[in-house]
Amino acid sequence: MSATVVLVDDHAMFRSGVRAELGQRVDVIGEAGSVAEAIAVVTEKRPDVVLLDVHMPEGGGLAVLEALGPALPDTRFLALSVSDAAEDVIAIIRAGARGYVTKTISADELADAVARVADGDVVFSPRLAGFVLDAFQDSPVAPAVDPEIDQLTPREREVLRLLARGYAYKEIASQLFISIKTVETHASNVLRKLQLSNRHQLTRWAVDRRML
Amino acid sequence: MSATVVLVDDHAMFRSGVRAELGQRVDVIGEAGSVAEAIAVVTEKRPDVVLLDVHMPEGGGLAVLEALGPALPDTRFLALSVSDAAEDVIAIIRAGARGYVTKTISADELADAVARVADGDVVFSPRLAGFVLDAFQDSPVAPAVDPEIDQLTPREREVLRLLARGYAYKEIASQLFISIKTVETHASNVLRKLQLSNRHQLTRWAVDRRML
DNA sequence: CAGCGCATCAGGCACTCCCCCGAGGCGCGG
DNA sequence: CCGCGCCTCGGGGGAGTGCCTGATGCGCTG
């Protein structure tokens, strides 16, 4: 039960090498040497994993991902590239790839990476994952700190967080090791300070601020 | 030249176990059993890596990260948790942790994870990384239309929409020109069909599906 | 020390939520 | 016509919510 794979790379020699090395461990059911060919082959073959070169003519792996990604939710894309540049990694991941490895990888490691991606995991070459996390942390579109939230005490902020997530007073009390009555007090203070009248509005408030 | 580590976990027995298992492979230079203690110990010891429990009183690992993260750019935080919930993973990573592993991990794997984080890598338990990527991408890989929603009648869908937006039964009744009792019936049917137990979960359900 | 903010907890009360039961009307297809 | 799904309501009740008053202790500051 090895995973089915389609190789996409504009260098035939490289595809041949990958096929030779990986043939024992995964089931290579198709190859493509261009963006257009990749779209056709992947659409037809429906592999578990597409091993996708990033740098190719006509838009490269990014073009393939944008054309196919949304249409094939059950197909995972693993980017395979000579580049270890942060912008390449981020662009590919943002487009929906489930991993990014560089071509310095060994055959064993690549076979393992393909298997893991087929299995639902996410795979990165060491250090590359850090690029994504950095971009992820910078990404909050609206940092936009409300003046109201500054009026909250640390404990109130904690209760707010749990309230917004839908926990009942009783559950919050258990998690924070305090009584229900204390939770009620904090909750009441939070609602008053944020000028809200009930916890449903509070949930929407938190959603708007991407706290969930 | 093993990495220096501070353990933060509110269970002394667990810390002891980690220390015993990891002692040979990393240099455990401090421990903390609470958020306040963690802030003090980490600030003093300046370890390479902080092994951080997510669920603790007083805000847990998140509180530690928010207090210390910005101040200690050279210290890496590796979250260690019993939870494999997406919200926990995303919150911790957004707060600046460089990895997240569950407590089901073996001692060898944990030692390896610590070493890799100390070395600048990012480490995740299998599958957890996917949560971060999903949150990172605007378009979730799994649009995954639920079969449950097809079971809802048109009227139930209408009530669901208003419920998720935080309207009270009374308000929904006014908007739809029906009695509160009818709203209750629809709401009850919706919760049953979606296998949810209250409207807070329903709000989160709707948020997850971009219905708001 | 006296005041103040914060966190903790209590009793009580009106209200909402959610479920249990039951019921009638309406339209559609066998 | 009869069953069935859908929508419409009602009583009753247990659990949860939100607010009120009032209380204690703790640490910080003037």
Distance from the A106 Cα atom to the nearest Cα atom in chain B, whole angstroms: 18
Q: Give the percent of chain B with pLDDT over 90.
A: 8
Q: What's the mean pLDDT in B88-113?
A: 81
User: What pLDDT is stored for residue A6 in this prediction?
Assistant: 92
Give the distance, in angstroms, between residue B198 CA and nucleotide C17 C1': 8
| Backbone phi and psi for residue A95, each to the nearest 5 degrees, phi listed first | -80, -10
User: What pLDDT is stored for residue A102 in this prediction?
Assistant: 82
Give the distance, in angstroms, between residue A164 CA and nucleotide C23 C1': 38
Band (pLDDT 50/70/90 cuts) for residue B212 is low
Minimum-distance nucleotide, CA of A154 to C1'? C6
Q: Which of chain A's residues have a Cβ under 8 Å away from the Cβ of B122? A: 124, 129-130, 133
**pLDDT tens, B108-118?**
888 888 888 88
Distance from the A204 Cα atom to the nearest Cα atom in chain B, whole angstroms: 7
**Residue B11 scores a pLDDT above 80:** no
Instruction: Quote the pTM value.
Output: 0.50
Which of A110, A78, A83 minimizes the C-alpha distance to A97?
A: A78
pLDDT tens over chain A, length 212 residues: 578 899 888 877 778 778 887 878 888 898 888 888 888 888 888 889 999 888 777 677 788 877 776 667 678 899 888 777 767 777 788 778 888 888 777 778 888 888 888 887 888 877 676 666 666 665 433 334 455 666 788 888 888 888 887 788 888 888 788 899 999 999 998 988 888 888 888 887 877 776 65
Q: Which long-range contacts (CB under 8 A, 24 or more apart) does B184-192 make?
A: B186/B155, B186/B156, B186/B158, B186/B159, B187/B159, B187/B163, B189/B152, B189/B153, B189/B156, B190/B152, B190/B156, B190/B159, B190/B160, B190/B163
Distance from the A115 Cα atom to the nearest Cα atom in chain B, whole angstroms: 12
Owner of token pair 């708007």: A208
User: What pLDDT is stored for residue B43 in this prediction?
Assistant: 81
| Backbone phi and psi for residue A62, each to the nearest 5 degrees, phi listed first | -60, -40
**Tokens standing for B98?**
């460089």
Q: Least CB-CB distance to B141: which of A96, A135, A139? A: A96
User: What pLDDT is stored for residue A148 in this prediction?
Assistant: 62
Ordered domains of chain A (ranges, CATH): 4-138 (3.40.50.2300), 148-208 (1.10.10.10)
A153 touches strand D (CB under 7 A): no
The sign of the dihedral angle between the CA atoms of A124, A127, A129, A135 is negative
User: What pLDDT is stored for residue A145 in this prediction?
Assistant: 47
A188 touches strand D (CB under 7 A): yes
Q: Which of chain A's residues have a Cβ under 8 Å away from the Cβ of B136? A: 93-94, 132, 135-136, 139
User: What pLDDT is stored for residue A139 in this prediction?
Assistant: 41
Band (pLDDT 50/70/90 cuts) for residue B123 is confident
Which span out of A4-8, A89-93, B54-58, B92-96 was modeled with the highest average pLDDT?
A4-8
User: What pLDDT is stored for residue A144 in this prediction?
Assistant: 40
Helices B128-136 and A128-138 cross at an angle (nearest 10°) of: 50
**pLDDT tens, B30-39?**
888 877 788 8
Minimum-distance nucleotide, CA of B170 to C1'? C16
User: What pLDDT is stored for residue B183 in this prediction?
Assistant: 93
Minimum-distance nucleotide, CA of B198 to C1'? C18
**Residue B141 scores a pLDDT above 50:** no
Q: Give the percent of chain B with pLDDT over 70.
A: 81
**Tokens standing for B14?**
């667990």
User: What pLDDT is stored for residue A212 in this prediction?
Assistant: 55
CA-CA distance, B192 to B197, in Å (whole number)? 8
